[in-house]
Amino acid sequence: MQENKAVKPELVGGTRDMLPADAFAQQFVFSTIQRVYESFGFVPLDTPCMERRNVLTGDDPNFNKSIFSVRVVRGTENKDESLSLLGDDDVALRFDLTVSLARVVVAYPELPKPFKRYQYGKVFRGEQPQAGRFREFYQFDFDIIGSRSILADTEVVQVMYETMKALGVPGFVIRFNTRKVLNGLAQACGCVGKSKEVFRIIDKFDKIGLDGVLGELKRKPANRFDESAVSMDEAGLELVTRFLGIKPEKSSEVLAGVKEVLGGKSEFADEGIRELQEICQGLSFLGIPEDFWRVDLSVARGLDYYTGPVFETYLSDLPELGSVFSGGRFDGLANRFMPDSNIAGVGASVGIDRLIVGMRKLGLLGTNESRTKVLVTVFGKEMEKYSLSFSGRLRQAGVDTEIYLGDGYTLRAQMAYAAKKGIPYVVIIGPDESSSGKVQLKDMTARKQQLFTQEECIDILK
């Protein structure tokens, strides 16, 4: 007879359980963000966690993100790793919500344009887990599809700003740049064909510094198969050094510096400078203080599909946490589904899990494990009817109420339960209270207890 062995209740690396305190925090963050998004006219959308692999990768032979494949197995007896996936299709878990959005826009052409949608859901990435970074995590996106106006890019920054303010985050900076300036830099350096590699290297500037960036940019191919080497010459490296050395505090001075370094050297750069100027001007018209936004030439964003302005939001007191709210313009993303359609798109995504980690560290989220306002105690079997009756009256009056459901009827255990869950009030109905039609109301915070009629107690709790 086979012995039953206990299974260790451990998590998969890079995932986590969300216990009540964190789940309540997430609900608060989610509902707050949803209200902001809807105030700008964004509407909800939902899509499956599973997508066809070619939808996610665009059949790009150079696609290099680590994604999770979906495999169907039957019980534990099937050991055949060659078992077909869902039907005959190669299926994977989505790594973000934007690619699915592009699929939806093409699949449902009747959607009004511009189409302003928000979406909340889990995404999956096979990255190395670290503090604030998980393999399974939530994103909360908003996007504008079908608008090439720079007003749309400006609105993205405005929504990011209003969201962070609504969440009560006191210190944050929305850093933005445009891929067109970076394209212009690559063009001016004679590396147009290596622009993606230039983006990738510049995007690591905060981590590896100027020497690290220059070292990677000038690296020669290790062999004839090495396509990632940029091999930038000395003139190009000098231009990059000047470009990354533009670090005034004021965005207007940053743009003046870009004009000095790249102005007239590239049509891409000239167009990008105009875009950034228009965004800055729009934010000023909106009255958004420049303390909360900044043109930052090191912002490149890692995904290849960005084509214009790109945005990243950092918590001022926790810059090491990384960006908690990021995005950009992705004109042409739908081309994989409808070639040469070049449908315009711009938006951003909140990394909910990382943001909650940061807000916890900053003391901006509560730790309550319940929204219950009052616990009604039970003093023995014969007293249950009184406790049930009064708890029902409290709920009818709009008061979030629990009745104690634990084994045993000791008052000490019931008080300990309320304290552990952070329930602020306890109603005590013993034999004396039930006979007089009154109740004891204990304020757990003030540690005070007082006798009231049931009507008085309901009025106080309301």
CATH number assigned to the domain covering 172-315 = 3.30.930.10
Between strands 43-44 and 448-453, the pairing is unpaired
Structure tokens at 58: 């665009």
Backbone Cα Rg of the chain:
28
Cβ(148)–Cβ(289) below 8 Å:
no
The pLDDT of residue 81? 54
Q: How many CA atoms lie within 13 A of 75 on its CB side?
A: 2
Q: What is the dihedral of CA 185, 186, 187, 189, to 10 degrees?
A: 90
Helix (H, G, I), strand (E, B) or coil at 155: helix
Reported for 382-390, long-range contacts at CB under 8 A and 24+ positions apart, including other chains, are 383/409, 383/429, 383/430, 383/431, 383/434, 386/429, 386/433, 386/434, 387/429, 390/427, 390/429, 390/439, 390/454
The pLDDT of residue 97? 93
172-315 matches 14-169+322-369 in CATH topology: yes
In the chain, domain spans = 14-169+322-369, 172-315, 374-461
Which of 345, 442, 384 is CA-nearest to residue 147? 345
The pLDDT of residue 305? 73
pLDDT tens profile 158-195: 999 999 999 999 999 999 999 899 889 989 998 888 88
The pLDDT of residue 438? 94
pLDDT tens profile 241-280: 998 888 877 899 999 999 999 988 889 999 999 999 999 9
Rounded Cα distance between 84 and 61, Å, is 22
* The CATH number fitting domain 14-169+322-369, selected from 1.10.1040.10, 1.10.357.10, 3.30.930.10, 3.30.420.40: 3.30.930.10
The pLDDT of residue 308? 92
Rounded Cα distance between 337 and 354, Å, is 32
Under 8 Å CB-to-CB from 54, ≥6 apart: which residues? 90
Q: Locate tokens 């891409």: which residue?
A: 268
Alpha-carbon distance values, 396 to 314, 388, 462 (Å): 44, 12, 11
For domain 374-461, the CATH architecture is 3-Layer(aba) Sandwich (3.40)
Cβ(141)–Cβ(352) below 8 Å:
no
The pLDDT of residue 298? 79
Structure tokens at 369: 């494990």
Question: Which residues of the chain, if any, have pLDDT below 50?
Answer: 85
Rounded Cα distance between 243 and 299, Å, is 12
Which of 145, 60, 149 is CA-nearest to residue 104? 145
Q: How many CA atoms lie within 13 A of 155 on its CB side?
A: 20
The pLDDT of residue 458? 96
